[in-house]
Amino acid sequence: MALQITDATLDNVLATDKLVIIDFWAEWCGPCKMVGPIIDQISDEYEGKVVVGKVDVDNNDEATSKYGIRNIPTILYIKNGEIVDKVVGAGSKATFVQKIEKWS
């Protein structure tokens, strides 16, 4: 299961040398509901290798603003504090895994 990331916990989550994947989503977002279970699967499958979390954009304005999130779902791939890749909109598990393999 992916971590629930908030404005207060974002910096702690990013303080790692592992690849961090963050899914920016909202409860009311249809495509987010399609992506959410895939993100949870990836979190389980890559546990210990990659940090996977979710940010609810409705409740975390600072994190959402920090990364200029305008469309959801947006999945960011962050390495050493820098965005190295992203997917905007619903993507397939294969797409997400391909980016993990590239950056981790």
pLDDT in tens, 70-100: 999 999 999 999 999 999 999 999 999 999 9
Catalytic residues: 29, 32
Percent of the chain predicted with pLDDT > 70: 100
- Domain residue ranges of the chain, discontinuous segments joined by +: 3-103
Whether residue 30 has pLDDT greater than 90: yes
Whether residue 104 has pLDDT greater than 90: no
pTM > 0.85: yes or no: yes
Specify the CATH number for 3-103; select among 3.90.1010.10, 1.10.8.60, 3.40.30.10, 3.30.420.40.
3.40.30.10
CA dihedral for 58, 14, 68, 101, sign (positive or negative): negative
Instruction: Using pLDDT thresholds of 50, 70 and 90, give the confidence band for residue 58.
Output: very high
Record the tokens describing residue 27, joined without a space.
């409860």
Choose among 103, 101, 76: nearest CA to 87.
Answer: 76
